Amino acid sequence: MKFTLQFFAAVVILFFGVLLGMQQANEGLLKMKGYHDPSFQSVVAVKKNEKGAVEATVLGNKVTSETVDEKAKKLEQWKMFNLFSELGKRLAEAVHLAVTELLSLFGKLVK
């Protein structure tokens, strides 16, 4: 019980440390820039147009549902086989089965 509490306390402290570090990095980048540049594009911008439709731009390129659908169709046509994705899936299945078996064995031993 004591170990569990210490572990969760450490995780919470580290999580807030990461958030604080991200905030400090953001402030540092803004200070480093030194001035407000309206031509500086954000990476992702989402806004509503006059008709009320939502428009999104990523790195200055407009993204519409048609472009997303076209890309999805192209990917389906290619039917690419990603070796790393497949290896990751199989590794995840193996780890899941191993942990399930270990927990089952541990449960039987406890009974």
> What per-residue confidence (pLDDT) applies to 41?
54
Give the model confidence (pLDDT) of 13-36 as tens digits.
998 898 888 888 877 777 787 766
Contact assessment for residue 63 and residue 57, using Cβ atoms and an 8 Å cutoff: yes
Contact assessment for residue 48 and residue 55, using Cβ atoms and an 8 Å cutoff: yes
Give the model confidence (pLDDT) of 55-82 as tens digits.
777 666 777 666 667 777 777 776 666 7
For the entire predicted model, the pTM comes to 0.31
Q: At 10, is the pLDDT very low, low, confident or very high (cuts 50, 70, 90)?
A: very high
Distances in Å between the Cα of 31 and the Cα atoms of 24, 39, 65 are 10, 17, 37
Dump the DSSP string for 59-83. TTEEE-HHHHHHHHHHHHHHT---H
Q: Where are the domains of the chain?
A: 1-36, 41-80, 82-111
